[in-house]
Amino acid sequence: MTKAETIDYYAKRSAEYERIYDKPERQNDLEQLRTTLAGMFGGLDLLEIACGTGYWTQCASRSATSIVATDYSEEVLDIAREKEFGDCPVTFVKADAYSLDGVDGPFSAGLVCFWWSHIPNVQIDNFLRVLHSKLAKGATVVVLDNRYVEGSSTPISRTDNEGNSYQTRKLGDGSKYEIVKNFPNEDEFKRRIDAVAEDCSFTTLEYFWLAQYTLAVSAADQGATADGSRRR
Ligand SMILES: C[S@@+](CC[C@H](N)C(=O)[O-])C[C@H]1O[C@@H](n2cnc3c(N)ncnc32)[C@H](O)[C@@H]1O
């Protein structure tokens, strides 16, 4: 699936997107995640990537000082803009997660919910370089995504030779899309951020995983770590 097809899929799915959060067996985990996220960003200016309809933006707004929430789809951003965010100023910006053009910085926190799993493995390092370039040294980064659970998750339809797995998703109008959906374990996740992060925690719930780390390098240092060498 191309980047354009992924964007098209989510634009078409915008109206039915949050039904995924209604699955009865996932409610305990979701409650725990909502509570955790609501308390994570005290005093921090947060940049959220691929915010979708703003479900997690709303949780983060309980503690964040401010939020810039980005997504590539105007359809989902329009839904998100209708939500209530209390006293937290939230700005929604259309931006491609792979470039974040038009997004200023540096922010003191980053949030990535249910987007990591859609990034083809070959693109992850580039995505992280772009995200980290918008964050200050010492920023808190939170990443949340699905675990694969037989009987609850959409079955994996195939795996390619770069290690990406795929799911075939059907929308209410009957259209079908094959999307990248990867399910990294703790070691795989930590390997991706090891060179630029410290204090990484990885929490495994029944249906989800939640990672948190501190960005240990500045934007300038990250240019110098493009070869993968450790800078701290
Ligand atoms: C699985 S949804 C997650 C939405 C939201 N974070 C949540 O957890 O409810 C993935 C989101 O990625 C967005 N998206 C897809 N491709 C993108 C890209 N290249 N840049 C930014 N957002 C993108 C879609 O529009 C969609 O809102």
The model's pLDDT over 85-110, given as tens digits with 9 standing for 90+, comes to: 999 999 999 999 999 999 999 999 99
What residues line ligand 1, using a CB cutoff of 6 Å?
A: 3, 6-7, 10, 50-52, 55-56, 71-73, 76, 96-98, 113-115
* Whether the predicted pLDDT of 226 surpasses 50: no
- Write the burial class of residue 19 (CB in 10 Å: 0-12 exposed, 13-18 middle, 19+ buried): exposed
In the predicted model, what is the mean pLDDT of residues 34-57? 97
What is the pLDDT, as a whole number, of residue 3?
A: 75
Kindly report the length of the chain. 232
Q: What is the pTM of this model?
A: 0.92
- The chain-wide mean pLDDT, for the chain, equals 91
User: What domains can you pick out in the chain, each with its CATH number?
Assistant: 3-224 (3.40.50.150)
In angstroms, the CA 11 to CA 52 distance is: 9
**Closest CA to ligand 1's atom 16:** 7
pLDDT bucket at 218, cuts 50 / 70 / 90: confident
DSSP-assigned letter for residue 37: H
Helices and strands counted in the chain (H then E):
7, 10
Q: 130 alpha carbon to ligand 1 midpoint, in Å? A: 16
The model's pLDDT over 165-215, given as tens digits with 9 standing for 90+, comes to: 999 988 778 888 899 999 999 999 999 999 999 999 999 999 999 999 999
